[in-house]
Amino acid sequence: MGKLFGTDGIRGLVNSYPITSEMALKIGRAAALCFKNNSGRSKIIIGKDTRISGDMLESALAAGICSMGTDVYLARILPTPGVAYLTSFRKADAGIVISASHNPYHDNGIKFFNAKGFKLSEQTEKTIEDMVLNETLDFNIPADSLHEQRVGRIYQIDHDYEIYAAFLKQTMAVNAPLKGLKLVLDCSNGATSKIAPALFSELGADVESIFTEPDGTNINADCGSEHPEALCKMVIDKGADMGIAFDGDGDRLVAVDEKGIPLTGDQIIAVCSKKLKDNGLLKNNMVVTTIMSNLGLKKSLEKMGIAHVTTNVGDRYVMEEMVSKGAVIGGEDSGHMIFLQHHTTGDGMLSSLKLIEAVIDSSKPLSELAGVMNVFPQVLIGVEVKNKPDLESVHEIIRSVRLVESSLKKKGRVLIRYSGTQPICRVMVEGPSLTDTQRFCQQIADTVKQQLGV
């Protein structure tokens, strides 16, 4: 059956392994055992995005958890970072989110948070994986304990939106801090559809919202962080100060400046890092991102005198390095951003508020602030492969990479890696011009296809 966990939880096509109701039941049982406490009745919070399959998977997970004597608290539709916050706030033993993030509606997934609201370590994921795949533990309740009615109950959480919104509001310095700001929000027909327009309006902004009518199948469909085209047009049409697009589960964002031009996640990190440093709040003078960050971010941080630490792809690894090194800001170019002084995970709405704070404090338009970083042209090509040998052992691929690196010198870079969840090898090249970058990336991708392609 293979590995369950990918880069961010368990994910796949609904009603196909591993995203089936049968597997969800087993995963729920394993989670109940893994997170069970010995000091009282255990409880796990479950939240979900707006996918039509969320109800099915929620029911199966809850049944599995309850069968092991653990209670389930349903947060219903709530952004992923909201579930992380509620897990800690309500002193639950774990939190589960049913979501496939920015993927289309026919996919779904299962993400976990520990009792403190952090994503799981690889070791904890392996423990759950072993329970499910290798049946390393007996899921049967001992016969002599049946009379104790060791079966969990299911409860609906009240005021979950209000609790999470109150947390986000308190991260702002003053009441109604967005007064006079005109915003356009693209909620991706996802988990932020209800809470985001209400929150930004309550904070004083003049809000126009699009894609806020989820029907179970329209999440991320030509909208949200993956498709900000409609948002860009709306920002210009409405004369807005900026636009914000969330993904389906609300843990990342794309920002659009007042000219209708999208910013990269790295640009947002650069803007927010500069604000923290200028205000003396950049703890340990450090920013943590993944190896996929644009070379322009590295050069921008160098110019600002800020240390730059990189990790493997995945916001979990960014968080682990931030905790280890004592950093307060980190993220991914995809729009996952972590502000560790406020939250334990990536949060699209929180990141939006921090970016807006930078605009308000500087009294400058977002387009001007974004100029702190020059984005190097970047091309990414995914090549479907039949197997995944160690890339260093495939001499023709390494030779192709070395030739491109030699041509780029220090004016670009090459990164080649396998997808953690798909049979794909990703080739990324950054360079001084788009034409050269496209040519070099295609050159390496063609070699990968020749050597490993299907």
List, by residue number, the catalytic residues.
101
Residue from 308, 300, 346, 354 nearest 327 by CA: 308
The CA-based dihedral angle spanning residues 232, 236, 242, 243, taken in that order and rounded to the nearest 10 degrees: -30
Q: Is 73 in contact with 46 (CB distance < 8 Å)?
A: yes
Name the residue with tokens 């049409």: 237
Q: How far is it, in rounded angstroms, from Cα 218 to Cα 215?
A: 6
86, with CB counted inside 10 A (0-12, 13-18, 19+), is: buried
